[in-house]
Amino acid sequence: MTLPAVPSSPLRHLLTLEGMPREQLLALLDRAQHHADGHDDRQALAGTAVCTLFFEPSTRTRLSFQLAAQRLGADVLNFDVSTSSTRKGETARDTLRTIEAMGVRGFVIRHQDDGAVATLAEAAAPGTALVNAGDGRSAHPTQGLLDMLTLRQAKGGDFSGLTVLIVGDVRHSRVARSDLHALQALGTGEIRVCGPRSLLPDDATLAGCTVSHDLDAALDGVDAVMMLRLQRERMDEGLVTSLDEYHRDYGLDAARLKRAAPDAVVMHPGPINRGIEITDEVADGPQSLVLQQVRNGVAARMAVLETLLRGD
């Protein structure tokens, strides 16, 4: 089968979904669906080396990128910061350029600092492609892609009739920002955001969204609920009074889910804090798409790597 092409100017890096043209986003989703349907070219990236350069821990994202690259026939190098020269004082830029000098063309980078991947992209040599696998609070574009792919599979391609609710710690969430950028680019009918005031951003992040602090009201009639992980350090910072109170006010259980549309779907980027953001009966229930998101992560990342490194 012929792979869907990505229109307009070719992508050199994937740093964010903010400002991505709708047509380009749709083309990436079409290509991801192509792979989700099992149409893999095992030699698409044969002879190409890809390095997963992670400066903070990850399980799902790192493993899915590794699988994605391997399924495309790439050679995969895994960078372990705990045993690397960064422990001796080497900068991230020097690490990138050193590995580049070995002939590596693709880098999948996760970093704890906002904008770190964009800074490294400025230092990259021509012909090198960088993928942001999550930086600080800024962006996690491939998570946004796999979430949109999952939502499109469940609800169809017309987002204009959908009401989507994002719940939880949006202030500190790179996932939420990428999901918001993607939902807006796809013309989602209504985007609702709900969480405690202390965990919602006070800048322009939520422009155009319907913001609420009452989860029961926000759930009314929604087509999709995207739950976010509560980072427990927020309790130490005084932004959350207690886990029990957070679950009482913002946790999703089966009774609350009944306020949504009967065919509403539930999503979560993982890892899940069971009994805090979401109960077992919802996480493992028939409306949950959590494991489908995980499966789609490989397809979405295949689409990105192929687009950047094959250039078609």
Q: What is the DSSP letter of 133?
A: E
Annotated binding residue at 259? Answer: no
Give CA 235 to chain center in angstroms.
Answer: 24
- According to DSSP, the β-strands at 210-212 and 224-227 are unpaired
Annotated binding residue at 22? Answer: no
Annotated binding residue at 4? Answer: no
Annotated binding residue at 110? Answer: yes
Annotated binding residue at 229? Answer: yes
- According to DSSP, the β-strands at 224-227 and 265-267 are parallel
Distance CA 58, CA 37 (A): 26
Annotated binding residue at 258? Answer: no
Phi/psi of residue 275, each to 5°?
85, 0
Are 229 and 169 in contact, with CB atoms under 8 Å apart?
yes
Handedness of CA 26, 32, 37, 43 (dihedral sign): positive
User: Which is nearest to 192 in space by CA: 163, 221, 217?
Assistant: 163
Annotated binding residue at 270? Answer: yes
Annotated binding residue at 143? Answer: yes
Q: What is the DSSP letter of 188?
A: -
Angle of CA points 42, 43, 44, to nearest 5°? 100
Annotated binding residue at 2? Answer: no
CA torsion 298-300-302-304 (nearest 10°) is -150
Phi/psi of residue 240, each to 5°?
-130, 130
Angle of CA points 250, 251, 253, to nearest 5°? 135
User: Which is nearest to 95 in space by CA: 111, 79, 116?
Assistant: 79
Are 255 and 284 in contact, with CB atoms under 8 Å apart?
no
Annotated binding residue at 21? Answer: no
Distance CA 194, CA 211 (A): 6
Distance CA 310, CA 305 (A): 8
Binding-site residues from annotation: 60-61, 88, 110, 140, 143, 174, 229, 270-271
State the binding site for carbamoyl phosphate.
60-61, 110, 140, 143, 270-271
Residue ranges of the binding site for L-aspartate: 88, 174, 229
